[in-house]
Amino acid sequence: MQQAITTGTRRSLLRVLAVSAGLWGLSGPITSNAWAQAASAGKPLTQLRIGYQKSAVNLVILKQQAVLEKRFPNAQIKWVDFPAGPQLLEALAVGSLEFGMTGDSPPVFAQAAGKDLVYAGAEPAKPESSAILVPKDSAIKTLTDLKGKRIALQKGSSAQYLLVQAVEKAGLQWADIQPIYLAPADACAAFESKSVDAWAIWDPFYAATELALAPRVLTTGTGLSNNNSFYLASRVFATDYPDVLAVLFEELSRADQFVQQHRPEAIKLISAYSGLDAGVVSLFLQRRPASPVGPINPKTLQSQQQVADSFQKLSLIPKRIDVAQIVWQPKATVLAKTK
């Protein structure tokens, strides 16, 4: 029986990785006055292209339930799946998307590269939803043991910030480790074949790997990385369609309520989309706190600035950036349009 479960879960992991390769403190609910004011300033929507990942639970629920297609019947809604945040934000920056969701690190690298996009909203932190994994028989027992080791991660992803923090906590320098930059599908293959010594990864890949390969969790993000999730938009879209953003965040928060209150149904929807076994989906949802969507508050902004400063300190980005400069402000946007 155990062998059957393990084999099935491994197949599930391979399916979700293959699909992906092809392609959190809030200030209050989205019904705040700022968003209500913004909602009166938009114009008719004809196209909405949304970038998302397997970890974007609220977006996956909206897609599976065809909610946005009902809210915007006169617009063409297109959903584009990405293996990780850096690829998603590249598409957003070149005009192939209007809206998307990533973890904390991709927007930092995008801003440092001069990409024209804005933070529009956020979900609560999810520190338990990312981890550094090692094989169950690995000699690596502590973070200090990472010295000299080959560690797989997606470059520019939230996993990179987790690893940066883990290295610092261990009293090591970034140069003391060997980062191996791989997308999740390739990283999984390298981890299973033991071509790398460790893997920094996030859910649902983390959960799928746990059940398929039974690795040892060296550390999660708790105490190291808040693992915030952000919704980003092109600057033009945020300026021209604040009403659409208001609807998006209203429906995303409703999707989160559905996940919290109708867990079996949510698992079925996510499993049907992703190809993941229900057990994998259940596991990563257990680690995911309630995740309504709202504007970025000062605490979340401060946390994100710390991410940016950490990367600049290590020269992983060329200069210091001010995260607040690309945080969309609904009131300010509406006022600017009426002058």
Asked whether 139 and 111 are in contact (CB, 8 A), the reply is no
Closest CA to 50 of 23, 18, 12: 23
**Parallel/antiparallel/unpaired status of strands 117-123 and 130-134:** unpaired
Q: Where are the beta strands (DSSP E) in 3-55?
A: 47-52
pLDDT value at residue 331: 61
Residue numbers of the chain with a pLDDT score lower than 70: 1-42, 331-339
Alpha carbon distance 308, 127 (integer Å): 17
Ordered DSSP codes for 51-95: EE-TT-HHHHHHHHHTHHHHH-TTSEEEEEE-SSHHHHHHHHHTT
DSSP H or E run through 152: strand 150-153
Query: Six-digit token pair at 300?
Result: 């979340």
Sequence-distant (6+) residues with CB within 8 A of 235 are 116, 117, 118
> pTM for the full model?
0.83
What structural domains does the chain harbor? 25-125+227-338 (3.40.190.10), 128-220 (3.40.190.10)
pLDDT value at residue 255: 97
- AA letter at 146: L
Asked whether 196 and 152 are in contact (CB, 8 A), the reply is yes
Asked whether 305 and 214 are in contact (CB, 8 A), the reply is no
Q: What is the gyration radius of the CA atoms in the chain, in angstroms?
A: 20
Query: Six-digit token pair at 34?
Result: 């700022």
Q: Where are the beta strands (DSSP E) in 210-275?
A: 216-220, 229-234
